[in-house]
């Protein structure tokens, strides 16, 4: 690193001193904290993004969002060249950068790091694409990110404005693949592949009208509602009403959104008795999560939740159906057995795992956080992953995508209009529609809608695929959540000593009980999850274990 670069870093970093007494860590989804604490962190992630771009000689994304967190929080995360999350190898460097106490320490750290092979004088300058969600703090943090990028000589920052998180990841991936990568291109790809899937609905089904065919979407008062509206203008055949846009006085994620609906299992604001029986969906604040629900007749606030596990099951059924058609009608010589795998976490409802296994699918488990699920899903020809909270997607391997393209070409000359050609075309359209970079509520929603039409199913029929085991999630505020250390994909507490033993004893008192606790990577809480044979038992188990957490870790003041 030359002197010009060092002094540029020294002078610009002196405007962004880190907050005292706060230690930040690149958690399940980047850095998150109260927005007032974040300008130095975002500035430093700007530097990190530029260095990552130099290292990979590719375009990197930087997204300013705190997703489902309360409106006063914000956060920042990196999209790697393939559109996925930042390589886990770089997370320790990200932590060290964010916590370097002084400009001198920061420059020293960067100097040591770049010696290990960052091509400072490479052929290609660093380039970072910047996106942000609708949070009011986003603007100022964007300036900090730009300053960070500008402190690496020659680096280019491209501000793409307010976007959903998956749009930003999609753009990064598209740019690095040399494809069209604007927001219009994103909408065009989603709408054209959706139309293609609609056209491939078997005719006996497309004439059948699905009961309650209107969909009502809760936009979490975030970025997703407005984007969905733009997308809908390019589509026919969908009747969608959007509520909680964020422009009608509602507060981001407050009593609304996918995280609220999935965890509390009650209707979001703006929904009630008028919606009984109607198909409803909820996005989270940055539109990378999607859950469905319907308002029950017994009580206006109660819902039947159709969560990420059930979206996964619907997708798996559909993909499996197409693969079966392909393999049955194919002559044995040219056939290719596609390896289909699904990936879940410990938050998956046990009933969903049983259902998927009964379908004959290979079910894999990873620790919490999409970076782990995504990595695992990428090992299959087609890998489907979902967190119960509604974040997930379907990944197609490069090899299988290439085979599919060749296959559809071959079939279009050999057996045009056949069932096998249609199945291949459907898979190809799913590959285009569903975001290959990260879970994406908008593309997920379009895929759910077209599959329901394809099956001729109402939300109730879909919900009947299997019955969820009753579960309960709670958050416990403690003095220091990092005091909870876990193992076994975050399902067993190893510290503080004695806590796991107490949880086990409590769990054993409840029929079919299962319970685990872990520190959240996105909020300042410890999460408690319990499931059991009845709702009362799940509630009682979760409540008792929340008390244990409180006893072992002490309440924060």
| Binding-site ranges for ligand GN1 (CB under 6 A) | 28-29, 67, 347, 368-370, 387, 389, 391, 520-523, 527
Q: How far is the CB of 85 from ligand GN1 (least distance, A)?
A: 10
Measured from the CB of residue 521, what is the shortest distance to ligand GN1 in angstroms?
3
Which residue, 147 or 218, has its beta carbon nearer to ligand GN1?
Answer: 218
Kindly state the smallest distance separating residue 287's Cβ from Mg ion, in Å: 7
What gap in Å lies between CA 380 and CA 168, rounded to an integer? 25
Cα–Cα dist 442/187, whole Å: 10
Q: Is 286 in the site for Mg ion (CB under 5 A)?
A: yes
Q: How far apart are alpha carbons 259 and 148 in whole angstroms? A: 32
**List of residues 6+ apart from 151 with CB closer than 8 A:** 8, 9, 12, 13, 46, 47
Q: Which does 385 bind (CB under 5 to 8 A by kind): Mg ion, ligand GN1, none?
A: none
Considering the complex, what minimum distance in angstroms separates the CB of residue 234 from ligand GN1? 28
Least CB distance to ligand GN1 at residue 166 (A): 12
Task: Return the residue nearest Mg ion (CB atom).
Answer: 67
Residue 334 CB burial class (10 angstroms; 0-12, 13-18, ≥19): exposed
Binding residues for substrate: 387-389, 518-522, 527
Q: How far apart are CA 80 and CA 438, in angstroms?
A: 11
Task: Compute the distance between CA of residue 505 and CA of residue 24 in angstroms, rounded to an integer.
Answer: 34
Go through 184-219 and write b for each residue having 16 or more CB atoms within 10 A of its CB, e for each that does not.
eebbebbbebbbbbbebbeeeeeeeebeeeebbbbb
- What residue spans of 79-182 are helical by DSSP H? 91-99, 103-114, 138-150, 165-176
Tell me the sheet residues that pair with 293.
Answer: 280, 305
365 alpha-carbon distance from chain centroid: 16
Catalytic hit among 13, 40, 67, 193: 67
**For residue 402, with 0-12 CB atoms within 10 Å meaning exposed, 13-18 middle and 19 or more buried, which class applies?**
exposed
Q: What is the token pair recorded at 78?
A: 């990196």
* Catalytic (active site) residue 67: yes
Site for Mg ion in 486-545 (CB under 5 A): none
Nearer to ligand GN1, 148 or 519 (CB): 519
Instruction: Work out which of 5, 12, 41, 67 binds Mg ion, going by CB under 5 A.
Output: 67
Selected from 288, 307, 387, 523, the binder of Mg ion by CB under 5 A is 288
Q: Considering only the stretches 67-75, 148-156, 228-236, 319-327, report the one whose residues sit in contact with Mg ion under the rule CB under 5 A.
A: 67-75
Of residues 83 and 103, the one with the C-beta less far from ligand GN1: 83
User: Closest CB to Mg ion among 152 and 437?
Assistant: 437
Nearest CB to ligand GN1, comparing residues 278 and 538: 538
User: Residue 284 interacts with Mg ion (CB under 5 A)?
Assistant: yes
- Select from ligand GN1, Mg ion, none the partner in contact with residue 523, using the beta carbon and a kind-dependent cut-off of 5 to 8 Å: ligand GN1
Which of Mg ion, ligand GN1, none sits in contact with 286, Cβ below 5 to 8 A by type? Mg ion
- 212 contacts 278 by C-beta, under 8 angstroms: yes
Positions marked catalytic: 67
Q: Which residues bind Mg ion (CB under 5 A)?
A: 67, 284, 286, 288
């Amino acid at each position: 690193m030359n002197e010009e670069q060092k002094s540029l870093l020294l002078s610009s970093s002196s405007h962004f001193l880190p907050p005292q007494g706060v230690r930040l860590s690149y958690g399940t989804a980047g850095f998150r904290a109260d927005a007032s604490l974040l300008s130095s962190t975002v500035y430093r992630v700007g530097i990190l993004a530029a260095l990552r771009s130099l290292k990979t000689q590719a375009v990197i994304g930087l997204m300013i969002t705190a997703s489902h967190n309360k409106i006063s929080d914000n956060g920042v995360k990196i999209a790697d060249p393939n559109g996925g999350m930042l390589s886990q190898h770089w997370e320790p460097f990200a932590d060290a950068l964010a916590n370097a106490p002084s400009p001198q320490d920061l420059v020293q750290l960067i100097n040591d790091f770049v010696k290990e092979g960052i091509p400072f004088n490479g052929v290609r300058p660093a380039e970072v694409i910047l996106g942000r969600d609708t949070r009011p703090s986003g603007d100022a943090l964007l300036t900090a990110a730009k300053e960070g990028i500008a402190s690496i000589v020659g680096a280019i920052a491209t501000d793409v404005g307010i976007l959903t998180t998956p749009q930003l990841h999609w753009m990064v991936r598209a740019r690095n693949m040399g494809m069209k990568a604007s927001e219009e291109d994103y909408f065009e790809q989603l709408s054209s592949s959706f139309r293609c899937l609609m056209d491939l609905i078997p005719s006996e089904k497309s004439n059948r009208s699905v009961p309650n065919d209107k969909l009502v979407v809760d936009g979490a008062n975030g970025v997703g509602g407005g984007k969905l509206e733009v997308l809908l203008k390019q589509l026919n055949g969908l009747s969608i009403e959007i509520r909680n846009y964020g422009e009608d006085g509602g507060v981001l994620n407050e009593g609304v959104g996918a995280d609220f609906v999935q965890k509390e299992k009650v209707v979001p604001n703006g929904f009630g008795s008028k919606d009984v029986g109607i198909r409803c969906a909820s996005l989270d604040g940055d539109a990378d999560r999607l859950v469905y629900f319907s308002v029950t007749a017994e009580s206006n606030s109660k819902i039947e939740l159709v969560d990420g596990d059930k979206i996964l099951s619907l997708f798996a059924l559909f993909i499996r159906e197409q693969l079966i058609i392909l393999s049955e009608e194919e002559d044995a010589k040219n056939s290719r057995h596609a390896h289909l795998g699904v990936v879940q976490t410990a938050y998956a409802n046990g009933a969903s795992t049983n259902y998927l296994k009964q379908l004959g699918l290979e079910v894999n488990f990873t620790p919490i956080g999409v970076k782990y699920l995504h990595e695992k899903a990428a090992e299959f020809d087609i890998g489907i992953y979902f967190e119960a909270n509604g974040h997930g997607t379907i990944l197609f391997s490069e090899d299988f995508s290439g085979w599919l393209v060749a296959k559809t070409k071959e079939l279009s000359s050999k057996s045009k209009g056949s069932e096998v050609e249609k199945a291949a075309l459907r898979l190809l359209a799913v590959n285009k529609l569903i975001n290959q970079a990260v879970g994406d509520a908008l593309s997920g929603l379009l895929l759910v809608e077209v599959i329901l039409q394809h099956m001729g199913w109402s939300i109730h029929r879909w919900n009947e695929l299997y019955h969820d085991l009753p579960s309960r999630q709670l958050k416990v505020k403690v003095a220091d959540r990092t005091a909870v250390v876990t193992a076994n994909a975050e399902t067993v507490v190893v510290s503080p000593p004695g806590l796991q033993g107490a949880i086990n004893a409590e769990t054993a008192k409840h029929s079919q009980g299962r319970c685990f606790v872990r520190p959240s990577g996105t909020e300042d809480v410890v999460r408690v999850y319990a499931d059991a044979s009845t709702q009362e038992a799940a509630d009682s188990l979760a409540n008792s274990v929340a008390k244990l957490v409180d006893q072992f870790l002490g309440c924060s003041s």
